[in-house]
Structure 1
């Protein structure tokens, strides 16, 4: 009996015994690429591992990594499916991804993997393929939601493919997925960027009379789009009125919203008014002051409105605001030495 125990004890770790049982040689490849105990992978490391696996065609490893990264709170990023590019291998890689994604862990892991891939396809301008993934999610009951459609709507409206975007909205509703304020904002921004106030007004009415019967309240980006539309139409007073409405409703104003107003004022020749505008907001947010005053000074210098530019730069100096190199040179040469 002691001889038998000795044989088992000595053989249990024997590579020869394991090889004999399996009938094949023992691989020296680490079956767990996630890392050694005690080492916590970063989000970037998971992206790199998925890139390597996807590029080499190891989609089972891609599936495992998608599962493991979420467990480790390293969520997907815009770089997760970066191996998928518009090359000869695109079609086969996409089919492999369609095969393995349904095998990822149910719930958030699977849903977010699909949504990240859809965003990647939109980046590659593969809208039809993104819609195929939407169909896959619907068939598999993989929790379609409004956010799933956001990259598609964003891409289409940016390319001014408005009719196609509304067809996607129809598809959303056929799956019981409602529009939200972000979805409407994509349409609104597209029309406002073109200065098409009439079409923008139609979108606003759609928001107020949403087909789902919900009240869709405008948010900061809604107002930013409206300010942009007013500025593109050269309607400075309307842009100012929208800003005042934002303040009355207690909504934060984006830096970009101020930039729209400053830009149209300078382009319209309202130089003194533009200075008054930025000064009215000065002192509340240092970074906003740097953005507003710096941008205005640069635009005034470009228009050769040096007196107004000097006034703005003096104000920046008094307030201790950071200037870019070009503005600093202009200030030292034309303000300090004058």
Structure 2
């Protein structure tokens, strides 16, 4: 018993387990243990809640070695929305001590994204300053969560200040950064501001991408200009850009709102057969919207197309199809 007491010199608590897992040397003769991102996230969560930030540093290094990269849950122990928290100060202390390169940069970017989700924009900006001062590989993608968060909240002027901060730090403003502004303006149907952003992109020689066009289609639909949305879609096809499922959804929703029931069925049918998942999304969404509007005849045509092509239906659509299409057909026969 005395030998056992000498061996166990400290209580086995969560902090001790985390430290043991992150520092133990692997047995070369043993089978390698495959760890998961969830396991690492859970360990960091426990370490963060217990204030063991040294273990967090080790876990951030180790997970990259295991190809278990950071996720949106990595810093989930940060939950408060206060402008100051001791946990953030501890993280600012240990992050510069993580392995240089990708490990350190991605840890910073993951933490910035988490802070933006908590609406702690000022804290996220502090981390940007830390990366600038430490020369930790700051890129345009590092700023994206901040710009996205601000534009979503319609804090456009503040978002433009972030753009100026990028320029002052010699970080190029990319298409994605501008797309956040476009999406915000297009969602509000603000054609004038949308045009200004497009002009800035053109002046800087930036080529619109899929999300740029998606924003423009959204803007056209918000302005009740379905014809313009169709023109933009055709332009996307001409330049060879893939169309997002959401882009089709913008058009379908607006056509339904305008009462263009025959036209929206024709629009969706024109894309059938090119992408099975797109077919399921478009046809399923259209059928649901038509049923809600009590446009049963058009809905039945859409559901028949789904059945013929063997496409997956939701439970509600399947029940409607079996009740209103199959049963009616059997009674007629």
Using the alignment, how far apart are the partners of 1:194 and 1:220 within structure 2? 20
User: Take 2:67 and 2:317, find their aligned partners in 1: how far apart are those partners?
Assistant: 44
- Tell me by how many angstroms 1:25 deviates: 8.6
Q: Residues of 2 paired with 1:283 and 1:276: CA distance?
A: 14
In structure 2, how many angstroms separate the alpha carbons of the residues matched to 1:48 and 1:191? 39
- In the alignment, what sits opposite 2:149? 155
Shift of 1:310: 1.3
Per-residue deviation at 1:231? 0.5
Provide the residue aligned with 1:259 in structure 2. Answer: 249
Q: Relative to structure 1, is the Cα distance of residues 242 and 133 closer, same or farther in structure 2, using a 3 angstrom cutoff?
A: same
Cross-structure match for 2:70: 76
Aligned with 1:195: secondary structure?
Answer: coil
Deviations 1:255-305 (CA, angstroms, capped at 9, x unpaired): 111111111111101111001101110111111111111111111111111
The partner residue of 2:85 within 75, 91, 103 is 91
TM-score computed with the length of structure 2 as normaliser:
0.90
What is the aligned counterpart of 1:222 among 208, 212, 220? 212
Measured after TM superposition, the shift of residue 69 of structure 1 is 1.1
Once the 2 structures are TM-superposed, how far is the Cα of residue 26 of structure 1 from its aligned partner? 4.8
Residue deviations 1:32-58 (CA, integer Å, cap 9, x gap): 323664323211111111111111001
Say if 1:89 and 1:243 are closer, same or farther in 2 by CA, change over 3 A. closer
Contact residue 224 and residue 257 of structure 1 kept, 8 A: yes
Aligned partner of residue 270 in structure 2, secondary structure: helix
- The alpha-carbon deviation at position 332 of structure 1 amounts to 1.4
Contact 1:255–1:288 (Cα < 8 Å) also in 2: yes
Offset of residue 198 of structure 1: 1.6
1:161-180 alignment runs, 5 A limit: 161-180=155-174
Aligned to 2:52: 58
| Two-structure CA RMSD over aligned residues (Å) | 2.0
CA distance in 2, matches of 1:166, 1:90: 25
Superposition deviation, residue 337 in structure 1 = 2.1
Whole-angstrom CA distance in 2 between matches of 1:268 and 1:87: 42
**Post-superposition shift, 1:125?**
0.2
Out of 104, 129, 137, the position equivalent to 1:135 is 129
Contact 1:84 1:90 in 2 (8 A): no
Instruction: Determine the structure 2 residue equivalent to 1:285.
Output: 275
- 2:319 matched to 1:325? no
- Can you list the C-alpha shifts for 1:90-149, whole angstroms capped at 9, x where unaligned? 601001111111111111111111111101100110000000111111111111110110
User: Conserved in 1, the CA contact under 8 Å of 2:83 and 2:122?
Assistant: no
Deviations 1:222-277 (A, max 9, x none): 11110000001110000000000000011101111111111111110111100110
Q: Does residue 174 of structure 2 align to residue 184 of structure 1?
A: no
CA distance in 1, matches of 2:168, 2:82: 34
Distance 1:273 1:177, change over 3 A: same
Contact 1:111 1:142 in 2 (8 A): yes
Count of residue pairs the alignment pairs up: 314
Unaligned runs of 5+ in 2: 329-333
3-state SS of the aligned residue for 1:321? coil
Structure-2 residue corresponding to 1:10: none
Q: Give the structure-1-normalised TM-score.
A: 0.88
